[in-house]
Amino acid sequence: MTSEKRNIWGWAFYDWANSAFATTVMAGFFPVFFKQYWSIGADVNTSTAMLAYANSAASLIVALMGPILGAAADSGSRRKRLLVFFAYLGVLMTACLFLVDKGQWGWAAFFYCMGIVGFSGSNIFYDSLLPGVAGPDKVDRVSGLGFGLGYLGGGLLFLINVIMTQQPELFGLANAGEAVRWSFLSVALWWGLFTLVTIIWVDEQKNGEAVTLGHALRQGFRQFSITFAHIREYKPVLMFLLAYWLYIDGVDTIVRMAVDYGLSIGFKDSDLILALLITQFVAFPSAILYTRLGERWDVKKAIQLAIVVYIGVTLWATQMDSAIEFYTLAVVIGLVQGGIQALSRSYYSRLIPADRAGEFYGFYNMIGKFAAIIGPLLIGTIAIAVRHALMPADPTAEQIVEVGLSASRWSIGSVVVLFVAGGGLLWTIKEE
């Protein structure tokens, strides 16, 4: 294997490693376990709000750190080193979920938040390594390869985890609940072991003389304001970040809250987990094929098409009442989810100066994770507000269920405004 191919595959394999957290933990088992085990006794809308606020808190931490750490990474070429630090922070926090007992929603939320910090923080430095790994003519394809491997790797472990929960006796486990806890531990092991491929294979390009981490962080703080000023000088970059802020908020919110929404409207957890598996294995080839569409057609138009699909999916979700519909939506999302993520990342690389990749990608990730503050917060707040507005003074059991269902549908429907606004802004961008 040539040095170039080793770098490309080593870089892409980090998506294979950390996507297990995104699938098994964030999208899959954590929402189910949080609603049914850790926050047992709370009504459906309150548990939704608790999960949503936990996501928002984690995203806020990452948003505040993103540009500073990105600038620090560019000082002395510390991107790879900081990727490793945040990756193993996420590994440790994920392993700690194994220790949380029934009703301890606070501890569950804490470890989950810190796991997201590790996951998202490592992605700042992962993304900033892309321009050094792939040249301008390969950046779309390599970005798509990373997302494709992520969906495949995350999907394979998720499949194993699903089998563990459905047939725990095959693994020597007492019940499905114990299997879920062991699934969290399996994610930590998977993430930690496969990150070693990235550590060994990726050769980070040097960017000046190495300096102490303290000096780099101080420089990062100073660079923060400078970077913002630089971004304002690049109008297409600024407009794209605003657009991305909005539409990727919708994507992240759907990923993080879909299972919780399905549980809130009465779907079985087994149906929801199966739908997630469908999404993963549809998304694997689709992420790669969708980037080809972007190359042959137009990257920006391909992103816009994905946004339109998400608008349709969200509106459909507010009306669905059967598991078959959920499966169908899972397929549709799988066709575009990896593509919109991969093409957004590569499209951004075309707009930014290459010598400030880490610095600018710090803002890119900050915007994405800051958007993930707004989306879950919107979901949780609307769910609680609609529940209070519609609930009678002395409700019957049937009215409680009906109001909870309506509140859940209104909350997921609110995400549409993010896709519409983001797609509209993206349309106005003219590359210089």
Specify the pLDDT at position 305.
Answer: 93
- Amino acid 394 reads D
**Given a cut of 80, is residue 378 above it in pLDDT?**
yes
Rounded to an integer, what distance in angstroms lies between the CA atom of residue 233 and that of residue 159? Answer: 47
**Mean pLDDT value of segment 192-209:** 84
432 band by pLDDT with thresholds 50, 70 and 90:
low
Give the predicted TM-score (pTM) of the model: 0.79
> Within 10 Å of residue 3's Cβ, how many Cβ atoms?
9
Specify the pLDDT at position 75.
Answer: 59
> pLDDT digit string (tens) for 176-200?
889 999 999 999 999 999 999 999 9
370 band by pLDDT with thresholds 50, 70 and 90:
low
CB 408 within 8 A of CB 284: no
Q: Comparing 43 with 359, which gets the higher pLDDT?
A: 43
**Mean pLDDT value of segment 203-210:** 66
* Least confident piece of the model among 196-210, 231-245, 261-275, 294-308: 196-210
CB 412 within 8 A of CB 256: no
Give the sign of the dihedral formed by CA 20, CA 23, CA 25, CA 29.
negative
> pLDDT digit string (tens) for 29-47?
999 899 888 988 788 888 8
Nearest alpha carbon to residue 113 among 185, 34, 36 = 34
**Mean pLDDT value of segment 385-414:** 91
Specify the pLDDT at position 362.
Answer: 66
Rounded to an integer, what distance in angstroms lies between the CA atom of residue 82 and that of residue 117? Answer: 13
Rounded to an integer, what distance in angstroms lies between the CA atom of residue 384 and that of residue 68? Answer: 35
Two tokens, residue 21 = 């957290």
Rounded to an integer, what distance in angstroms lies between the CA atom of residue 206 and that of residue 74? Answer: 9
**Given a cut of 70, is residue 369 above it in pLDDT?**
no
Rounded to an integer, what distance in angstroms lies between the CA atom of residue 79 and that of residue 205? Answer: 10
Specify the pLDDT at position 65.
Answer: 76
Specify the pLDDT at position 310.
Answer: 95
Nearest alpha carbon to residue 198 among 288, 88, 291 = 88
CB 356 within 8 A of CB 74: yes
Residues whose CB falls within 8 Å of the CB of residue 354, separated by 6 or more in sequence, listed in order: 131
Two tokens, residue 25 = 């933990």
DSSP state of 75: T
Q: How many helices (H) and strands (E) does the chain have?
A: 16, 0
> Within 10 Å of residue 227's Cβ, how many Cβ atoms?
21
- Amino acid 171 reads F
Domains, the chain, in order of start with CATH, read: 3-200+215-427 (1.20.1250.20)
CB 202 within 8 A of CB 194: no
Specify the pLDDT at position 92.
Answer: 98
**Given a cut of 60, is residue 211 above it in pLDDT?**
no
CB 339 within 8 A of CB 291: yes
The pLDDT mean for the chain works out to 86
266 φ, ψ to 5°? 100, 10
CB 222 within 8 A of CB 329: no
User: CA separation (Å) from 302 to 129, 250, 254, 289, 425?
Assistant: 24, 17, 20, 11, 15
Rounded to an integer, what distance in angstroms lies between the CA atom of residue 411 and that of residue 44? Answer: 12
Rounded to an integer, what distance in angstroms lies between the CA atom of residue 27 and that of residue 31? Answer: 7
